[in-house]
Amino acid sequence: MAARGHVQDPNDRRLRPIYDYLDNGNNKMAIQQADKLLKKHKDLHCAKVLKAIGLQRTGKQDEAFSLAQEVATLEPTDDNSLQALTILYREMHRPELVTKLYEAAVKKVPLSEEYHSHLFMAYARVGEYKKMQQAGMALYKIVPKNPYYFWSVMSLVMQAISAQDEKLAQTMFLPLAERMVEKMVKEEKIEAEAEVQLYFMILERLGKCVEALEVIRGPLGDKLTSELQSRENKCMMLYQRLQRWPECNALAHKLLLKNPDDWQFYPSYFDSLFHLMDQSWSPPEEGEHCSEGLVHHTVAEVVRFVEERIKGEDGKDSRSLRGPYLARLELMHRLRERGCPEESLLGDPLELMVQFFGKFGDKPCCITDLKIYLHLLSPEQHIQFINRLSEAVPLGEQGEEGFAFPEDTKALQRHLCVCQLSRALGLHHSLDMDGKLRLITELKAHYRHGLKFGKHALKTELQFSDMYCLMAAHVYIDLWTETGDENMAWQCLGILQEGLSHSSSNAQFKLLLLLLYCHLGAFEPVVDLYSSLDAKHVQHDTIGFLLTRYAESLGQFAAASQSCNFSLRFFHSNQKDTSEYIIQAYKYGAFEKIPEFIALRNRLNQSLHFAQVRTERMLLDLFLEADIVLSLEESVKAMSLSAEDDIPWDNMRDNRDLTVFTNWDPKERQLTDEHRRQSLEEESVWLRIRSLTLRLLASLAALGHTSSQQNSEISNENGVGDKTSVLSSLLSELSQTLQTAAQIAEKHIQYPFLGPPSTRLTQALSSGSCQCQAAALQLSVHLQELETAGLDDSSELQTQICNGFKSLVVQLQEILNKCKGDLLEMKESTLKTRPSLLENLIFFVETVCIVLWMASYCAKILRPLKTSLQKKKKKKKDANTALPVVVCGFQELTGSLQDLLNQALEHIKGQETGMTALKLASLTLEGYTQEEVSFTKAAMDKVQSSYLRSLQEVGDLLKKRAETIKNLKI
């Protein structure tokens, strides 16, 4: 709450205790205090609003809203009430109501600068750009201050950006904004840098690059001082857009003379050279080359310029700058791309890289600098290159193990760089199994030796030798993926756990551990690992997929709920936060940031991950609670779930960071654009299946709601026919999507281990759960037809429904059979995991839930039909007591479902008993130190404990579902 200033008004003194209670989170006392005050002062509007805030915060939203509306209809103009109502509406996520408040206040107090500016900000929160423009001008008329005028101009620009019709933006909004700024320029009223930035933004969006260039190079450009080289950067961008390559070249050359380490100008310098060569440009015979000065238009001149910068660095006593040396490699790369013979002028790439390593090999950035130019070496040179670099690494005497170690951190960094370059050249991958195991031993030895350099490091600092540990883990993963030997995975977990014990803040260790545990089917250890990463803000969108992909599929329902909440909390707060950022940008004149904030908001709203988490969270809540805590209909209502599609399929954004893992693999083993495209396609199809399942369940709930409320004749008038048609159209959409999914599954796409995880799609199809769920939902349409037809004239339909019941039981039995087998088993002193069995068990649980909901709907339809049939028989005194076919079929179905659940619970019990009996301590891991064995066994214990937790959660849920079968009696 806003801190109150010096109190003069007696009302402020009276309200002070309520503010204090609200600030301290004591909402009940705030409500009591407000009630006391209102007994004495009935017309104290602010006390009513403060009471409403207390009610809102204690979950009584409806009461709070009606109280607030009582005050709002009186159109208050006192500052306390307006501020309190603003806070309340923001907490209710109803910012549009704030605009109405201040519209009324401005009408009553038309000359208040404060209320006008609050009104402008209220419009900014809801993105009403046209009204913002009008409010800005109204403000400027009352108080002629520049910022208010430019608020109005910026609102015009925002109308242009958000306009659906690009033509309207280019012919109306932007030209009007340009004229408004030109008026201020002519009257020499431009005061601040933000105003020049805005003028530049308008001209740029209008494509008036020449005019924009004049502004930047003219007196207004002098105001651009907040960023270094702001003018030069803008000039460079405009020259490139105008394709004025001579000016581009000359400006880049001039700026590089000033600072030869400023990398951003090297690409512009080289680009402009090649454009000039393509145009066969030559300088005029007299006068300057161009307005920016001298132009280098031949390769020889550019080579000479780069060599001169390098000579300048070589001759320095202080540390050399990397820019010129990298520029030489970049130029060589570009000349080779174009097939220019002048490449030879620069020298031999191997020698140049060795020279670069000699100068900068002790910097951690050396690997990333050189990695992108390794393609300049021919395959025959790879081993020679690594040997040459190794000669430049100062190592001590060989120890007992036959390894020589570096004496200080700089030598360690050089040695590490050589190892990383070897891996990037594919030399690690080409080793045989024994060679890889020897390499791991060497990397571990270097890792442990290097720990002595970081003995006194803070907890939050990384160890100097951490990368050796990570690389050893990568080699273990190579061995695991190539040989399928799960021992390698356990050793990998062991070395990473050891690394984490010495370097508890290393995010790469945590990420790789997280991935390995998920691949082994253990989700329990992952929750703590992810929360210790302390992902901030947008990272919930970029790396959240690592967590949410595996949570539910590995049977940890409570953790899955928590994981989804992590992400959803961020996505929902993004809406509110972005509005605040936009308001701050207006206040401080950071106009160029406003479109960026809006782009960020759109990017997050259209995020694939957001849509996935939203859908999975709702499905999970239904699986865990529907018909257990609340009925399916009530659950669907509580979620405000409908059969409508709210996913922006056409604008879907894949914001996943698929390069979050440190990776030194050679190019042919890395993630390709094709992989990314396939992964996005697979994710979208799986999301569509899940979304359709969710919408079908919403439709089923709507049908169930109607059939329980009315009987069949009236229900047809009330649009059940319409609801059935929604259900049918969703079912046909699901069947088409499943066909697409089957085509994707047939491709058997394999992503790199450190690439995107595969979705659950292939396994969902191979287990048969998707097909069984669709069949169960399809039956609900036939049941609706039965309700309309009645039991007397529907023998064919009844037989069809009974066959459907039998088929469901067969399919469920098949899914359950695919879950059987040991999840964890010890064989010849190795521990083997079978996570696919656990994933199949989860599919069984999900499918059983959907079949039970269909059965519950069936019971609702059959009860009244059976009752009316019995009444008819009584009237006719019909002695024939044979039950209708469909009723018998339904009773068989419920009996079979009970059997299936008992089978599943028996299987789970057997697994729990077997797994608890496993004596991991008796495993003998030969050839490893005591410390390594303890870390590896600790990882095994975590996996065992996680499997037991999963089985327990699945068992508990199935027991609750088995209870619900008792309610299916007709």
What are the extents of the domains in the chain?
227-347, 768-775+789-969
What per-residue confidence (pLDDT) applies to 879? 54
Query: What distances in angstroms separate CA 595 from CA 157, 161, 581, 598, one per listed residue?
Result: 9, 8, 11, 5
User: Residue 484 — left, alpha, or beta (φ > 0 → left; ψ -120 to 50 → alpha)?
Assistant: left
Q: Is the pLDDT of residue 715 over 50?
A: no
Confidence of residue 803 (pLDDT cuts 50, 70, 90): very high
What per-residue confidence (pLDDT) applies to 401? 76
What per-residue confidence (pLDDT) applies to 6? 47
- 534-583 pLDDT, tens digit per residue, is 988 899 999 999 998 998 899 999 999 988 988 898 998 887 788 889 99
Amino acid at 464: F
Give the integer Cα–Cα distance in Å for 61 and 57.
Answer: 8
Long-range contacts of 460-464 (CB under 8 A, 24+ apart): 460/505, 461/505, 462/503, 462/505, 462/506, 463/499, 463/502, 463/503, 463/506, 464/409, 464/412, 464/413
What per-residue confidence (pLDDT) applies to 716? 44
- 424-451 pLDDT, tens digit per residue, is 999 999 999 999 999 999 999 999 999 9
Confidence of residue 710 (pLDDT cuts 50, 70, 90): very low
With the CA atoms of 122, 125, 131 and 133 taken in that order, what torsion angle do they form, in degrees rounded to the nearest 10?
100
What per-residue confidence (pLDDT) applies to 140? 94
Helix, strand, coil fractions of the chain, as percent rounded to 5? 75, 0, 25
Angle between helices 835-876 and 795-817 (to 10 degrees): 160
Confidence of residue 4 (pLDDT cuts 50, 70, 90): very low
Would you give the DSSP letter of residue 653?
B
Other beta carbons within 10 angstroms of residue 454's beta carbon come to 17
Confidence of residue 706 (pLDDT cuts 50, 70, 90): low
With the CA atoms of 48, 53, 55 and 60 taken in that order, what torsion angle do they form, in degrees rounded to the nearest 10?
120
Among the residue ranges 227-236, 397-406, 599-608, the one predicted with the least confidence is 397-406
Q: Is the pLDDT of residue 864 over 80?
A: yes
**How many CA within 13 A on the CB side of residue 659?**
7
Q: Is the pLDDT of residue 506 over 80?
A: yes
Of residues 618 and 709, the one with the higher pLDDT is: 618
User: Residue 280 — left, alpha, or beta (φ > 0 → left; ψ -120 to 50 → alpha)?
Assistant: left
Q: Is the pLDDT of residue 480 over 60?
A: yes
Q: Which of 271, 291, 307 is nearest to 283 (CA)?
A: 291
Of residues 789 and 204, the one with the higher pLDDT is: 204
* One-character DSSP codes across 182-241: HHHHHTT---SHHHHHHHHHHHHHTT-HHHHHHHHHSGGGGG--SSTTHHHHHHHHHHHH
Q: Which residue has the tokens 């004229």?
A: 179
What per-residue confidence (pLDDT) applies to 794? 75
What per-residue confidence (pLDDT) applies to 541? 93
What per-residue confidence (pLDDT) applies to 713? 41
Give the integer Cα–Cα distance in Å for 904 and 912.
Answer: 12
Please count the helices (runs of H) and the strands (runs of E) in the chain.
42, 4
Q: Is the pLDDT of residue 874 over 60?
A: yes
Q: Is the pLDDT of residue 526 over 80?
A: yes
Give the integer Cα–Cα distance in Å for 840 and 926.
Answer: 34
Angle between helices 146-162 and 174-186 (to 10 degrees): 160
Give the integer Cα–Cα distance in Å for 227 and 238.
Answer: 17
Domain at 768-775+789-969, CATH class: mainly alpha
Give the integer Cα–Cα distance in Å for 552 and 526.
Answer: 13
Q: Is the pLDDT of residue 300 over 50?
A: yes
Q: Average pLDDT in the 234-254 region?
A: 94
Give the integer Cα–Cα distance in Å for 305 and 634.
Answer: 75
* Average pLDDT along the chain: 90
Confidence of residue 880 (pLDDT cuts 50, 70, 90): low
Would you give the DSSP letter of residue 404?
E
- 56-108 pLDDT, tens digit per residue, is 999 888 899 999 999 999 999 988 899 999 999 988 888 899 999 999 999 99
Q: Which residue has the tokens 């002695």?
A: 879
Give the integer Cα–Cα distance in Å for 775 and 779.
Answer: 6
Would you give the DSSP letter of residue 966?
G
* One-character DSSP codes across 73-84: HT----HHHHHH
* Cross-strand partners of 641: none
Residue 360, phi then psi, degrees to nearest 5: -125, 10
Provide the percentage of residues in the chain whose pLDDT is more than 90: 68
Sign of the CA dihedral 760, 764, 765, 766?
Answer: positive
Would you give the DSSP letter of residue 825?
E
- 644-699 pLDDT, tens digit per residue, is 888 999 999 999 999 999 999 999 999 999 999 999 999 999 999 999 999 999 99
Q: Is 313 helix (H, G, I), strand (E, B) or coil?
A: helix
* Cross-strand partners of 398: 404
Angle between helices 79-91 and 95-108 (to 10 degrees): 160
What is the token pair recorded at 873?
């028989």
What is the token pair recorded at 923?
């495993």
Terminus-to-terminus CA distance in the chain, angstroms?
57
What per-residue confidence (pLDDT) applies to 336? 93
**How many CA within 13 A on the CB side of residue 348?**
7
Q: Which of 773, 767, 708 is nearest to 735 (CA)?
A: 773
Q: Which residue has the tokens 């913002």?
A: 132
Give the chain's radius of gyration (CA, Å).
35
Among the residue ranges 168-182, 200-214, 387-401, 700-714, the one predicted with the least confidence is 700-714
What per-residue confidence (pLDDT) applies to 711? 45
Provide the percentage of residues in the chain whose pLDDT is more than 70: 96
Confidence of residue 479 (pLDDT cuts 50, 70, 90): very high
Q: Is the pLDDT of residue 726 over 90?
A: no
- 762-789 pLDDT, tens digit per residue, is 999 999 999 999 999 999 888 888 888 7
Is the distance from CB of 385 to CB of 353 less than 8 angstroms? yes
Give the rounded distance of the alpha carbon of 435 from its chain centre: 39
